[in-house]
Structures are given as structure tokens and as C-alpha cells.
Amino acid sequence: MGRVIAFLLGVLLLGPVHAATQVYTTYYHNDHLGSPAAATDERNELLWRAHYRPYGERQESPGDIPFGSPGYTGHVQDSSSGLVYMQARYYDPQLGRFLSMDPMGPQETVPGSFNRYAYALNNPYGYKDPDGQWAMALLVGLDIALTSHGIYTEYQSGGTDAALVEAGKAAAAHVIGLGVGNVLRRGYILAKGTKTTDSAVDLFRNGRTPKASELRDFAQNQGWKPTQTDGGPLKFIDENGITRLTIKKGSSRAPGSSKPHVEFKDPTGQRTDPLGNPVARKSPDNHTQIEFDL
């Protein structure tokens, strides 16, 4: 068998690599959950399609080519048992349940969390579980109603439980098609965790809209040097001269940049989103909204 080089669009894993006698490439095409729905080769010819029931059960038999890893939501899926490894625990898509209890425990403000084995708050079309510990809302092509004064403020003042109450309201608004407040284009997370600031990713965790001062402190902790011209944005430059983080107050004269936002670059100078994914200069993901307090 030849070597398989798999390019995955928005999922978690690279494909398997076998001993090489012939090299070929497989491209995976994923649905909104991150599950591979089809695969094509380097000639753009369809190799297979995959079909999933609501909770991820495959309609193909285990012997079919597409059955295996990566599987449902892009996680490792065992080709013989069909179990999905979601990092914190295993998930059975036939049962629509995890095989072990939720390690994070229930939240009294989220009734669905009291079933410690339930998947994605029993709503697999509206949510997915990235690591077996919490449910992430899916906002496919929609602008969703969340405000920094809502979830972010509640999280800061009352912790996770308070934020979950506010997030539950926003989730209900999403279900019935309502929208309030500022738009977060990347969605939001119903979290069951604690606040951390060990990395830039942590500042955006749990649907937070971080403050400019938090980003400033993060950049300074990395040893990046601040620089700012009169009236210009606050920039932080690393030891190699790369502008790693730029905090902008926003300007109505700049299309797509009217609100306070932050821009990131990796060590090579490539623009990225807060998760480190490459983005273009004019991409919305290059302008991640923040709360300006400097």
C-alpha cells in the first residue's frame, strides 16, 4: 500500500501514513461538525462519501473504506468497534452516549448537563464536544447574539455559573432565531472550566471577549517589546523584529476595522487568528473583537 497524505479541512487529525511504494494524496471534505463527508484524490475524483445519523452513527459498515480514523467530528474513530475517542473519554455514536461520566460534573444552570453521559446537551445538530468535557455551539454561516456585556461581564463578575446562565439565554435566542448585542463571528462555548491566562488562546476561551489590557499583559509576559506612534495602534514586537500582536481601537475610516480588535502574527510573520490558524490580512478572523480599556 502506498503512502497516504491527508489534508483535512477544519478537523483534528492528519491521516495515516503507511510504508511507501507509491505516493498519493487524499483530500478530506468535512461537514459543519468537522466529520469527513467525502474524500477526493489529487485529480479531484471522488473516492468515497460518508453518511452520519444525528448522533454520529455511520450508515456505512465497518468494512467500508471511509469507516475509521478520522471519524465523527474529526476525532479518532475505531474501525472495528465504531467508538469515537474524544480525548477525555470514549463516545458511542450508536448509543449517542459517552461510555464514562463527564469529568467536569454537572452545572445547575444547564439542566442537560445532569445526564453525565449525554452528548452535546442532547443536541448534536446545535452543538459538538471537542474533547469530551464541554459543549460548543455551532453557528454555521450565522451571526449570533452574544455581547461582551452579556457573557463576558457575567463570567468576570460571577464566574462560570453566571456565564452559563447568560449563555443559556443566548442559546435559547439562537434556537428561536433571535439575536441581540454584538456579533461574535466564530461562535461561543458553553464552558465548564476555570479562567486561565497562560496563552492567548486562554484569553478567548469560553466565549470571552478579552480586554485590551489583558492582551497587553500577555504580550509583555512573552517578553515582546511595546511600541506605539502618536495616535497609532499598540504593537508588540518579538526578539526577531516580528510584530506579534497589534491592539487597535478601531476606526470608522477602515472598512471591517471599526470596532476595537486585536491582530496576531506567528514567529514567521504569518497573520493568524487567536487559535494560530493562518488568515489573510482582510479576513474577518484577522480582526478579532476585544474590549478596549487602555
Residue 152 per-residue DSSP state: I
Determine the pLDDT at residue 284.
80
CB-based contacts of 279-282 (< 8 A; 24+ apart in sequence): 282/256
Determine the pLDDT at residue 280.
85
Determine the pLDDT at residue 237.
94
Q: Note down pLDDT in tens along the chain; length 294 residues.
A: 444 444 444 444 444 445 456 777 888 888 888 888 888 888 888 888 888 899 998 887 655 666 666 888 888 888 778 899 988 899 999 999 999 988 777 766 667 778 888 888 888 877 777 776 656 555 433 333 343 345 445 544 555 455 555 555 544 444 333 333 333 323 333 333 333 333 577 787 767 788 999 999 999 988 999 999 988 899 999 998 999 999 998 877 666 567 899 999 988 888 888 877 788 888 887 888 899 998
Name which of 263, 231, 230, 229 is nearest 246 in CA terms.
263
- pTM for the full model? 0.45
Grid coordinates belonging to 15: 491521516
CB 179 within 8 A of CB 143: yes
Name which of 250, 248, 280 is nearest 265 in CA terms.
280
Determine the pLDDT at residue 147.
38
Q: Note the Cα 158 to chain centre separation in Å.
A: 24
The total number of residues shown for the chain amounts to 294
